Chain A
Amino acid sequence: MVLQVPVRVRVNGVAIERSVEPRLLLSDFLRHELLLTGTHVGCEHGVCGACTILLDGEAVRSCLMFAAQVAGHEVMTVEGLAPGGEDALHPLQQAFRDAHGLQCGFCTPGILMTLVPFLRDTPDPSDDDIRHALSGNLCRCTGYQHIVDAVRLAATKARAQGDA
């Protein structure tokens, strides 16, 4: 009998209770156990950033954690960004659409989850700030230009709304 460990965790606001193998990666747990397949896996060694999720509000790579490690914590995946679905995109998602910040879209969930805490902490970023924030996420399609545009657009809109 394979050893199982209990995991109690809140994922996108929902309380989850499962038993998992200790070696099960958090990325596999989210994708294959919880069927939250928006979190993507590109390298499984923590470089590409496609699997980035929020753990207690901070961006982490779900391929570098075990599911067992998130017991008692709060996880948010890309599915949690727009609870209202495709017709009610998160402002950052909307900005990505407006600025053509994605092509194949495979790296995009990880990039969104990296940028959500970044914009929370850096509401008025320079382009240089944005590029540094993005530098841990690999995108092979866009050349990053339209992603930088999208982040700037999202920040500008958020500040305008804050001023209003």
Chain B
Amino acid sequence: MTTRTFGERIRRIEDPRLLTGGALFVDDVQLPDMLHVAFVRSPFAHARIRAIHVDAARQHPGVAAVYTADDLGALWKAGPVLVAPPPIPGHVFNARTQFMLARHTVRYVGEVVAIVVASSRYVAEDAAELVELDAEPLPAVVRLERALAADAPLVHDDLPSNVAAHVVQTRGDYAAARETADVLIRRRFRYDRGASAAIENRGVVAQWDPRQRELTVWDTTQAPIPVRNAIAASLGLPESQVRVIAPFIGGGFGPKIMFYPDEILIPWIAMQLGRPVKWIEDRSENFVGTTQEREQLHDAELAISRDGIIVGVRDHFLHDTGAYDPYGLTVPINTQCTLLGPYRVPHYESEFTAVFTHKTIVTPVRGAGRQHGVFVMERLLDFAAAELGLSPVEIRRRNYIPPDAFPYDNEILYQDSAPLVYDSGNYAAALDKAIELLDYDNFVHTEQPRLRAVGRHVGIGIVSYVEGTGIGPYEGARVRVETDGSVTVATGVGTQGQGHFTTFAQLVADQLGVEVAAVRVVTGDTREMNWGTGTFASRGAVVAGSACHSAAVAVREKVLRLAADIFEAAPEDLVLDEGRVHVRGSPSRSMPLAQLAARANPLRGAVRPGTQPGLEATSYFGPERGSTASGVHAMILEVDPDTAMVQILRYLVVHDCGRVINPLIVDGQIHGGVALGIGNAFYEELAYSDEGQLMSASFMDYLLPTALDVPPLETAHIETPSPLNPLGVKGVGEAGAIPVGALFAQAIDDALRDFGVETCEIPLSPSRLFAALERSREGAT
């Protein structure tokens, strides 16, 4: 019997291709007569372009073309705003998006000024060296705090200041409520994030076929359908003449959802020259050209009662959006909303100003601003707990939204323009489980005192967070039983390693009674699926998964109707199992799905009106709003006060993503998120000079965590099903990454409590921590 696979640790069906080198990544696309592109990028953070001299490059042997903005004609225009700001009353949003190529002004190091097309990448780079950018360097605004100074250079001189956006959201009346609080905790927090650093860089390959009159584009995008639509619109083609394929993608983590000028320029060049064209980003380009996350500066205040009940929070923050703001307000709105966490905050006043700086563009990176908000709230609670003599555990427990309060309305708007309403959760249960699994009380009361007595600086941390996941608008899926008995599923989302091939196959296999291995999933090919938006906001399993499920249910009904006719049986008496349909209790009255699929597509004869051929169905799913995942992370670490090096002794995640489709895959998602969070907390930093040069633009300077830096990871789950989708699932892709900075800070402060260290900044680093220890030692003498 085919067993139900929902909830089982199913091995991934996509793995054999990936393990043998047989999977297609964008740079693996090889086409006859293909040309290769190298970009000429600005070495200045801010400069006025006087001229770009390209003659020498054009004459270089092997060069097919060189383009600057002047060569683009009508194509030279500003890119789209990808995400419109939510309709928050009174908000200011100054949309400034990047042009196809910089023409008069460059606004960050790495902005593309010219394109060289040649017979090989080697030749293209030779010729790119010959392009001379004649530009007048101008003062740059780099530091967040400087962006709003009266004398700050303007990133966009048609605006009166560097304000990109200003948003206020409130709940209740914080100003009045704070007067009733017993204690006010006020701090300044700085939270910086860095590069997504997917191991595969970005890339685009384009081919125009003049006979088929079709443009095919292979693209490392997380959003193949919107990219297809944008290419079609920009190049004056109907969407059906453009096919975008996002094959296997070597990690996404957010920036591959962005829409970049090269995604139009490479196809345009392929049409201009009538030859296939490839551009593959190298790592140094990735550090400056691919979007990043960045810094926020928060001035926050927590008003709280003597018994540790939150009265309200006020938070004013600055958000660095880089040189342009094509992704709207998603990142700072996520910060604003996620700060509230799993807690009842009756009064909330949150105001942010997003500012332009002369740096690479900021768009979501795994977590997408949620980290910053969680850090502020969790730190405020930690400091309040210390002030009130409560444990970090107790202050959180006293403020959780109780399990019977869902749906819970936070009375502000989320990034998807829907009200920030949590669908379900049980936060205390996750906390209890973490305490139990970590043996928290034993550590705090017995183990830690014992270790400290022998001079070891060990600390423990425990934090909570929520994550808005699985937002709309919608995704679709088409499920088809093939005449060989296999099942094909097509969906519009791109996939970057999340296990979609397996997860979606499980959902379909369960409905149709076939083996998971018999289900072939196609993602990220616009020829296979015409509608959808992409992979972001931890929404693949929730939104596309629900669409796969619905389409499979519809096919199942078709199978049952057809078989009921054939067997002259009632549909409810039929069983789908092992790739066959049979009449219950009568196994001889049975037919393979393959045969049924052929019968569903007759070549001759009359067909009943209103029926559709084939065992195929397409369904769409759009949630009313996002589902809210949550979790508790806890860690024990040790700090060497002489070197300020940190060793993580235990790391535990208790997570609630609703019903779990495949625990193996979910654990993997959490592990990867935690590793990224550890990098953010302690190792990775995009260090800019005052001139706007990125000083850490290589993997020798920008330190991704290695297998020695990420500890063994323990995971556990609780399940509060989401009522917002038929599967009861919530997203999990970003969860691991979100609370790590806050957790690190709490555990480090605990380990170094003798030194009175108070961590209000992430990333830390051994040298930052060492400086903090030195300051503490100086203060003590």
Contact = CB atoms under 8 A, between A and B. Distances in A.
B283 interface: yes
A86 interface: yes
B132 interface: no
A140 B671 contact: no
Interface stretch (B142-150, B155-163, B493-501, B546-554): B493-501
Interface in A76-114: 77-79, 81-82, 85-87, 89, 93, 96-98, 100, 102-109, 112
Given A45-B700, A47-B699, A48-B199, A89 B18 contact: no
A35 interface: yes
Given A100-B11, A131-B707, A143 B283 contact: no
Given A100-B668, A146-B668, A147-B707, A38 B21 contact: yes
B251 interface: yes
Interface string A33-59: 001111111111101101000000000
**From A48, A78, A82, A100, residue with most partner B Cβ within 10 Å:** A100
A135 interface: yes
Contacts of A138: 199, 699, 704, 706
Nearest to B13: A97
A21 B122 contact: yes
Contacts of B698: 43, 45, 47
Nearest to A43: B283
A118 interface: no
A16 interface: no
A31 to B, nearest CB: 7
A81 to B, nearest CB: 7
Interface string B1-30: 000000000011011111111111101101
B131 interface: no
Nearest to A24: B122
Contacts of A41: 27
B707 A38 contact: no
Given A40-B250, A98-B11, A142-B668, A86 B20 contact: yes
A78 B25 CA distance: 15
Contacts of B251: 103-104, 106, 140-141
B415 interface: no
Contacts of A137: 706-707
Interface stretch (B326-334, B484-492, B708-716, B723-731): B708-716
A42 B499 CA distance: 21
**From B668, B673, B736, residue with most partner A Cβ within 10 Å:** B668
The bracket for how many chain A residues form the interface is: 35 or more
Given A40-B250, A43-B283, A141-B251, A106 B699 contact: no
A155 interface: no
Given A79-B20, A86-B20, A135-B708, A103 B199 contact: no
Interface residues of B, number: 59
A134 interface: yes
Q: Is the interface of B mostly helix, strand, loop or mixed?
A: loop
A28 to B, nearest CB: 8
Contacts of B17: 86
**From B30, B251, B667, residue with most partner A Cβ within 10 Å:** B251
Contact of B25 (A32, A40, A43, A86): A40
Given A103-B499, A127-B712, A131-B707, A37 B283 contact: no
A38 B16 contact: no
A15 B713 CA distance: 45
B664 interface: yes
A24 B125 CA distance: 13
B675 A143 contact: yes
Contact of B199 (A78, A107, A131): A107
A74 to B, nearest CB: 18
Interface string B57-96: 0000000000000000000000000000000000000000
Contacts, number: 188
B715 to A, nearest CB: 9
A120 interface: no
Contact of A106 (B14, B199, B282): B199
A74 B263 CA distance: 39
Contact of A145 (B252, B496, B700, B712): B712
Contacts of A108: 18-19
A130 to B, nearest CB: 8
B637 interface: no
A139 interface: yes
Nearest to B282: A44
Contacts of B122: 21, 23-24
Contact of B197 (A87, A93, A130, A140): A140
A79 to B, nearest CB: 5
Nearest to B665: A100
A37 B27 contact: yes
B674 interface: yes
B249 interface: yes
B676 interface: yes
A44 to B, nearest CB: 6
Given A42-B201, A45-B699, A89-B19, A144 B30 contact: no
B61 to A, nearest CB: 9
**From A37, A50, A106, A137, residue with most partner B Cβ within 10 Å:** A106
Contact of B707 (A39, A134, A141): A134
A106 B20 contact: no
Contacts of B676: 140
B15 A37 contact: no
A60 interface: no
A75 interface: no
Given A105-B250, A135-B708, A143 B736 contact: yes
Given A36-B21, A81-B20, 6 more contacts: A32-B30, A104-B497, A108-B19, A140-B197, A140-B676, A143-B674
The 10 A-B residue pairs with the shortest CB-CB distance, nearest first, are A38-B21, A104-B497, A106-B250, A105-B18, A143-B671, A103-B497, A143-B675, A47-B699, A86-B16, A134-B707
10 contacts: A31-B27, A36-B21, A44-B283, A45-B699, A82-B19, A107-B199, A138-B706, A140-B251, A140-B253, A142-B672
Interface of B: 11-12, 14-25, 27-28, 30, 122, 196-201, 248-253, 282-283, 496-499, 664-665, 667-676, 698-700, 704, 706-708, 710, 712-713, 736
Interface of A: 21, 23-24, 31-32, 35-45, 47-48, 50, 77-79, 81-82, 85-87, 89, 93, 96-98, 100, 102-109, 112, 127, 130-132, 134-148
